Amino acid sequence: MAVQQSVGPDPYFPANGDPRYRVHRYELALDYRPGPNRLSGTARINAIAGRAALAEFQLNLAGFKVGRVRVDGRAPHYTHRGGKLRIRPAKALRAGAAFTVEVQWSGNPKPVNSPWGGLGWEELTDGALVASQPVGAPSWYPCNDRPADKAAYQISVTTPSAYQVVAGGRLLTRTTKASTTTWVYEQSAPTSSYLVGLSIGKYQTVLLGDPGPGGVPQHGHIPAHLLPDFSRDFARQPAMMELFEELFGPYPFGEYAVVVTDEELDVPVEAQGLSLFGANHVDGVRGSERLVAHELAHQWFGNSVSIADWRHIWLNEGFAKYAEWLWSERSGGRTAQQLAASAHRSLSSLPQDLCLADPGRKLMFDDRLYQRGGLVLHAVRCAMGDDAFFRMLRGWAAQYRGGAVTTTTFIAHVARFTAEPLEDLFAEWLYEPALPPLPGAAAQDDRIPARPAYPPANS
Position 288 scores a pLDDT of 96
* Mean pLDDT of all residues belonging to the chain: 94
Question: Could you give the angle at the alpha carbon of 341 between the alpha carbons of 338 and 344, nearest 5°?
Answer: 155
Closest-CA residue to 106 (of 67, 156, 58) = 67
Inform me whether the pLDDT recorded for 456 exceeds 60.
Answer: no
What is the pTM (predicted TM-score) of this model? 0.94
Q: Are residues 168 and 214 in the same domain?
A: no
Kindly report which listed range (35-49, 153-167, 188-202, 210-224) carries the lowest average pLDDT score: 210-224
Alpha helix segments (H runs only) across 282-433: 289-297, 314-330, 336-348, 367-384, 386-399, 407-415, 423-431
- Asked if 401 contacts 252 with a C-beta cutoff of 8 angstroms, the reply is yes
Comparing 46 with 440, the larger pLDDT belongs to 46
Residue 40 sits in a domain whose CATH number is 2.60.40.1730
Q: 9 with 59, same domain? A: yes
- CA-based angle 33:39:44, to the nearest 5? 130
Please tell me the total count of domains within the chain.
3
Residues 178, 222 within the same domain: no
Which one of 295, 322, 324, 400 is the catalytic residue? 295
Q: Are 358 and 314 in contact (CB under 8 A)?
A: no
Catalytic residue among 26, 32, 322, 370: 370
Region 27-34: what's the mean pLDDT?
A: 98
SS3 160: strand
Please tell me whether residues 41 and 170 are part of one structural domain.
yes
Q: 151 and 27: one domain?
A: yes
Binding-site annotation: residue ranges: 294, 298, 317
pLDDT of 446 > 50? The answer is no
pLDDT at residue 209, as a whole number: 83
Answer whether residue 148 shows pLDDT above 70: yes
Do 140 and 269 lie in one domain? The reply is no
Share of the chain above pLDDT 90, in %: 92
pLDDT at 210: 83
Nearest Cα neighbor of 140 from 215, 194, 99 is: 194
> 196-210, 370-384, 387-401, 431-445 — which is least confidently predicted?
431-445
Residue 210, in any domain of the structure: yes
Q: For this structure, is 423 an active site residue?
A: no
Annotated binding site for Zn(2+): 294, 298, 317
Q: Chain-centre distance of CA 172, in angstroms? A: 22
Domain boundary among 281, 299, 317: 299
405 and 317 in a common domain: yes
Q: Is the pLDDT of residue 458 over 80?
A: no
Residues 248 and 293 in one domain: yes
For the ranges 125-129, 209-213, 245-249, 319-323, the lowest mean pLDDT is seen at: 209-213
Please indicate, yes or no, whether residues 250 and 349 belong to a single structural domain of this protein.
no
450, part of any domain: no
- Residue 365 inside a domain? The answer is yes
Give me the domain span that covers residue 284.
203-299
Q: Are residues 112 and 15 in the same domain?
A: yes
User: Which tens digit of pLDDT belongs to each residue from 40-65?
Assistant: 999 999 999 999 999 999 999 999 99
pLDDT per residue as tens digits for the range 219-247? 999 999 999 999 999 999 999 999 999 99
pLDDT class of 214 with cuts at 50, 70, 90: confident
Does residue 295 carry a catalytic annotation? yes
Residue predicted with more confidence, 53 or 442:
53
Residue 3: predicted pLDDT: 45
Residue 7's pLDDT is: 62
Is residue 51 within 8 A of residue 20, CB to CB? The reply is no
Give pLDDT, residue 212: 80
Q: Which of 302, 210, 319, 291 is nearest to 253 (CA)?
A: 302
On whether both 208 and 117 belong to a single domain, the answer is no
Asked whether residue 164 is assigned to any structural domain, the reply reads: yes
Confidence of residue 457 (pLDDT cuts 50, 70, 90): very low
| 77-88 pLDDT per residue, tens | 999 999 999 999
Q: Which residues of 35-60 are buried (b: 16+ CB within 10 A; e: fewer)?
A: eeeebbbbbebebebbeeebebbbbb
Identity of the residue numbered 287:
G
Whether residue 147 is contained in a domain is answered as yes
Between residues 381 and 455, which one has the greater pLDDT? 381
Residue 442: predicted pLDDT: 56
Q: What is the pLDDT of residue 5?
A: 47
In a domain, 84, yes or no: yes
Q: pLDDT of 311-348, one tens digit each?
A: 999 999 999 999 999 999 999 999 999 999 999 999 99
Q: Look at residue 458 and tell me if it is in a domain.
A: no
* Same-domain check for residues 34 and 135: yes
